[in-house]
């Protein structure tokens, strides 16, 4: 992609700029699939399992009103549905519809392909080291599972 300018980045700058790269890829993929980036996140989260609304809000770090609006819009498009929680009759959980599952799989696959290209200039050893260091940071900070690793 870019050329090595010899510029040295600190950890904060490198993390922020790499997050920007990933977010840009995510947004571009979402656009191509007719989704907002938030809908793409919702579909990827729900690929793992259905979530109660309260759990989903915590995972996506959205306020209740924002989450309700996101789920409403996605439901109107036929991508998700609300259903009673089988373990708690008072609770509602959100799950993918068949259409939402197919779109989630396609969106996920394309997004993975594009994100995998970001460190294309790294050799196998550096890629493994990058994955190990990022995984440790994610685990140490108890980041929620918002994107599955399907190896």
Q: What domains can be seen in the chain, in order of their start residue?
A: 12-140 (1.10.10.10)
Rounded Cα distance between 9 and 99, Å, is 43
Please give the structure tokens belonging to residue 145. Answer: 């599972």
Distance, C-alpha 114 to centroid of its chain: 13
Residue length of the chain: 151
Q: For residue 4, is it left (φ>0), alpha (ψ between -120 and 50) or beta?
A: beta
Contact call for residues 126 and 49 (beta carbons, < 8 A)? no
Q: What are the strands, taking DSSP E only, across 9-144? A: 51-52, 80-85, 88-96
pLDDT tens, residue by residue, 129-146: 999 999 999 999 988 777
pTM of the predicted structure, to 2 decimals:
0.84
pLDDT tens, residue by residue, 96-121: 999 999 999 999 999 999 999 999 99
């Amino acid at each position: 992609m870019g050329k090595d300018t010899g510029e040295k980045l600190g950890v904060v700058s490198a993390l922020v700029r790499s997050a920007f790269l990933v977010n840009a890829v995510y947004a571009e993929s979402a656009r191509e699939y007719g989704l907002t980036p938030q809908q793409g996140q919702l579909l990827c989260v729900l690929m793992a399992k259905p979530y109660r609304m309260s759990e989903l809000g915590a995972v996506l770090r959205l306020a209740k009103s924002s989450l309700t609006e996101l789920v409403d819009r996605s439901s109107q498009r036929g991508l998700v549905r609300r259903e009673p929680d089988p373990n708690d009759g008072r609770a509602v959980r959100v799950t993918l519809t068949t259409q939402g599952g197919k779109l989630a799989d396609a969106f996920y696959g394309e997004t993975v392909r594009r994100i995998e290209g970001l460190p294309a200039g790294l050799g196998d050893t550096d890629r493994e080291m990058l994955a190990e260091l990022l995984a440790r940071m994610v685990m140490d900070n108890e980041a929620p599972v918002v994107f599955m690793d399907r190896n």
